[in-house]
Structure 1
Amino acid sequence: MLSVRGLTKIFGGFAAVSNVSFDVREGEILGLIGPNGSGKSTTFSCIAGLHAPTEGSITFQGRNITGLAANRICQAGIGRTFQIPRPFGKLTVLENVALAAWFGQDRNVDRETCWRQAVEALDLVGLPTGPATTTEGMGAAALKKLELARALASQPRLLLADESLNGLDPSEMDQAASMLDMIRREKGITVVWVEHIMGVLMRVVDRVVVLDHGEVIYDGDPAGAQRDRNVIAVYLGRDAAMEFAP
């Protein structure tokens, strides 16, 4: 479904991502993991159109989308959440999501359709759909759900979920992970999930790609990643890798 080849992004001489290549298969949940500064969010931003790659190519469903603007990539069928939700404070919850529904269309769309898609997305994540509900006073879990609803309202075929568990308590983490799995199963949306909370992510994903210093060091099943010497070294140090890895 998505093919990333030789992706490189350089900021002022620093290579945040260097020659990254991986594929995303239709219908899977792929975990994109790695320590802080490993290039995960930069990779997301290049795929979603926030940053233009310095080198490399990105192909989505057979179409080269490398360097396209964010709105065109969204309209092509790729939705994205962000680590820090930033809803429009002067809009209601429903208006926030309806605006995302309008943004994600690659054709003229009427207001009624945007409202209907917004209500469907809010229902899916379990947020109120009343026209007067505001974002004021929303907690971390509700804001994460709103961020997800906005991405879903854009009608994606591929969802890039960035740090969906950050700031949540253990119960909310389990709910968020289950929600991503439900979205994959019930809506048929393929998911690429960047996350630091490994214990939850590993229970849900079908495959993981591990980045370190902007490069891919592992691409395979989650159980194999937990036994891989390079992955253990990145998270726990070389001594731990020598002791625990086969």
Structure 2
Amino acid sequence: MSEYKRITEMPSNFNDLEFMDTNVILSSINEEDKKIAAAVEKEIPSITKLVDALVERFNKGGRMFYIGAGTSGRLGILDASEIPPTYGMPYDRVIGLIAGGDIAIRKAVENAEDDPDQAWKDLIAYGINENDAVVGIAASGTTPYVIGGVKEAKAKGLLTACVTNNPGSPLAEAVEIPIAVNVGPEFVTGSTRMKSGTSQKLVLNMISTALMIKIGRVKGNKMVNMQLSNIKLVDRGTRYLVEELNLDYKEAETLLKKFGSVKKVIDAQKG
């Protein structure tokens, strides 16, 4: 392992936070947040490489697993859980796993992230295979649960990648495709739920959205495969059809309810 600077543990650019006026606190946080998108931009080549590799595997029936602990694990689960309703994908294609299991989504589980063997145990419960990909998420890049999981996955021939905020960290060195977003020190020293977490959310949005577009789950700029699970989404789908097929609203709504998805209506009408 090469030497690396633990950026996520560096002292804040601000001090005496408890004496700051509320407006100064908020303005200072906002100034720090403005640095995030530029840091993510520098990692677009690595994100591109990952998405293209994922497309190849998804077209063979592969899956993507996010593994993480704490905030990072929760962000992976959030991203994974939004894929089925947004893009109509089965729940078993993008999967988020968190150290400590589902209870850790809401409550911290003591020492759960310290077991380097548990992530692989969690993964093999899903019958993981060589068409799958494992993306480890850890701001520090040192979480044993995540590092152990990607190392074992890589040894078994799976595609491995990571989203971290410490370039050159053990996690970044353990995977094929490291995405290391250097957002600098946090406003509250070491509080990686802030800039680091925000950068991770941006990167995960980019990975999953680009993947869904590339495998055909979007038409034009519309979510044509979204689940019609409430009135708002039925209305959205109906308006998509009005725009795409030049139908009146009632006819579009009737067709949408009959076929069950925007894409199926479009295919039927244009087929």
Which has the larger share of strand?
1
State the TM-score, normalizing by the size of structure 1: 0.31
State the TM-score, normalizing by the size of structure 2: 0.29
